[in-house]
Amino acid sequence: MGTAFFELRGISKYFAKVIANQDVSFSIQRGEVLALLGENGAGKSTIMKILYGLYKADEGKLFKDGKEIKIDSPKEAMELGISMIQQHFSLVPAHTVTENIILGNVQGVIDYKLFREEIKKLAELYGFELNPNDYIRDLAVGVQQKVEILKALYQKTNLLIMDEPTAVLTPQEAENLMGFVRDFTAQGNSVIFITHKLKEVMSVADRIIVMRAGRVYGDIKRAETNELELSKLMIGRDLNWVTKDDRQESLDQEVRLEIKQVTLQEKTGVPALKDISLTLHKGEILGIAGVSGNGQRELCEIVCGAILPTKGRVLVDGEDITERKIRARIDLGIGYVPADRSSDGMIMDMSIAENMLLKSSYDKKWQKRGFIDKKKLNQYALQEIRDYSIKAPSPETIARGLSGGNQQKVVLAREVDNGEKVIVFDQPTRGLDLGAVNHIHQVILKERAKGKSVLLVSTELSEIFALSDRIAILYKGEIQGVFNSAELTTEKIGLLMAGFREGEVSNDAG
């Protein structure tokens, strides 16, 4: 192997209280696709942000073509031919494709015509179907990502870093992206792919760097490894994945939650939910699949009472609860684990014990002569910390100091207790490491076995398939169909998620 295109040697980065990266060394060759694989919090993004000049390393050196380099800002990184596409895009929604791409690269009077032509040519070169005059706000997420890529290409990038690029894409869009990656590297460019999805790694990477707890635990050629080995390296131990064997048939059970022809009209006039009807039985998990932003959040909030539907009814055990407010529904036994725990699910500046109290502060069981019964509450929190193996020194620990997985477990513990009848999970494992995901899946199945009804919203198809008894697909606020999970294949569900109707799908995908 010749001199590496880029090389990182002995990089360490300390944040207060956390070692983000410790003695990380690896290199990337020209024309190579490198996957940076690891659980959340393994330090993947941090090391890439160091290469991109967003963070400064505390120790270690960077090299390009064997020569030592210093990168103190993204601007310097770009001059060296490095571009990074963040997980959350940095596009201006109110501007056109052209304006976004040339942003920061133009001076004086802008010759739009010239730029448009240039961008059009560049897009055609890579087979991107893009109109340079479109506004970003009108584009689908997958297309927005292409704009981000074009932005990098426009700056003559040779090393493209992508942080979790497929998290927001449908399976088909992800496939397109992989195609681009192959084209791009065929021309001698390099790509670094940050991901925690093993499948992607196996399909596109040439070489894989496995990271865990801020260190490199493996530097392996794709051809010389398999998913099992990678997952072991990534987690550091074996996992017992949930299987469907231990489940009983459930559909003969009584109906618990009914959503009847629910429509939600947004202020803009566009319906966020259109004529949705779903039934959830006792002891059943109903999976809601779909690309995020297709009405999942609204559906969850209608069930838990945060928003009222414009039309339609919601029933629990045959009782109409459409008009009831959140508090009444909590009392009724509806638990809700929201997708965004930091804004909707917990209070980061409060302790674990206080977060356990969040939904039941009106409940007399936590009060003693009008004061909060701190002793009882702490005991309860301590028990939950043990039951859910939350890694925290005490119930008094402030939630912000916990890792994402442990924060999620706090919310989960509370909602599982609150939701005596129905529990709504919106993306319960998003962004969590595999150990936590596994634990949460087991909890969900356990609650199902107790006879609770579970509404599970997820964009991870593997999660939907692993847990659901039945699956409904949501696209642009409409149900594309409800299926027994055995009836569906990944391909079929992917097409349904992309907006194809059932009839069209069976013709195309059989």
Partner 1 sequence: MMQAKLRDLLITNILAIVLGLVASGLMLLFLGKNPVNAYSVLITSVVRDGYTFADIFVKATPLMFTALAFAFTYKANLYNIGAQGQFYIGAVIAAAGSLLLQNILPGWLVLIITLLLTIVGGGLWGAFIGFVKARYNSNEFLVSMMSTYVALAIMNYLLRTFLIEGKAEYPQTDALAASVWLPRIIPGTRLHIGFVLAVLACVGVWVLLYKTPLGYRIRAVGYNAGAAEMSGINAKKLYMLAFFISGALAGVAGFTEVNGVQHMLVQGFNPDLGAAGIGIAILANGNPIGIIFAAILFGALKVGGTIMGQMSGIPSSIIELMQGFVMVFVILSYFVRTWLENNREKRKLQKAVAK
Q: Is 50 in the site for partner 1 (CB under 8 A)?
A: no
Axis crossing angle, helix 490-497 with helix 502-509, rounded to the nearest 10: 140
Q: Is 354 in the site for partner 1 (CB under 8 A)?
A: yes
Strands 311-316 and 255-265: antiparallel
From 192, 321, 357, 437, residue interacting with partner 1 (rule: CB under 8 A): 357
Q: Is 372 in the site for partner 1 (CB under 8 A)?
A: yes
Q: Which residues contact 329 (CB under 8 A, 6 or more apart)?
A: 304, 305, 321
Closer of 67 and 369 to partner 1 (Cβ): 369
235 close to 260: Cβ distance less than 8 angstroms: no
Q: How far is CA 314 from CA 90, 256, 277, 303, in A?
A: 39, 11, 9, 7
Q: Is 56 in the site for partner 1 (CB under 8 A)?
A: no
Q: Is 454 in the site for partner 1 (CB under 8 A)?
A: no
Q: Give just the sign of the alpha carbon dihedral 462, 463, 466, 472.
A: negative
Q: Which residues contact 206 (CB under 8 A, 6 or more apart)?
A: 32, 33, 34, 221, 222
Closer of 202 and 326 to partner 1 (Cβ): 326
Q: How many residues bind partner 1 (CB under 8 A)?
A: 39
Closer of 168 and 304 to partner 1 (Cβ): 304
In the complex, what is the shortest distance from the CB of residue 336 to partner 1, in angstroms, rounded to a whole number? 7
| Closest CA relative to residue 154, chosen from 205, 110, 188, 118 | 118
Q: Is 350 in the site for partner 1 (CB under 8 A)?
A: yes
Residues 89-108: x/- map of binding to partner 1 (CB under 8 A)? --------------------
Closer of 69 and 326 to partner 1 (Cβ): 326
Structure tokens at 108: 């004086």
| Closest CA relative to residue 453, chosen from 295, 332, 275 | 332
64 close to 80: Cβ distance less than 8 angstroms: yes
Q: Is 358 in the site for partner 1 (CB under 8 A)?
A: yes
In the complex, what is the shortest distance from the CB of residue 371 to partner 1, in angstroms, rounded to a whole number? 5
Q: Is 16 in the site for partner 1 (CB under 8 A)?
A: yes
Of residues 288 through 347, those in contact with partner 1 by CB under 8 A are 304, 306, 325-330, 336, 338, 343-347
The site for partner 1 (CB under 8 A) is made up of 12, 14-19, 22, 58, 304, 306, 325-330, 336, 338, 343-350, 354, 357-359, 361-362, 366-367, 370-372, 374
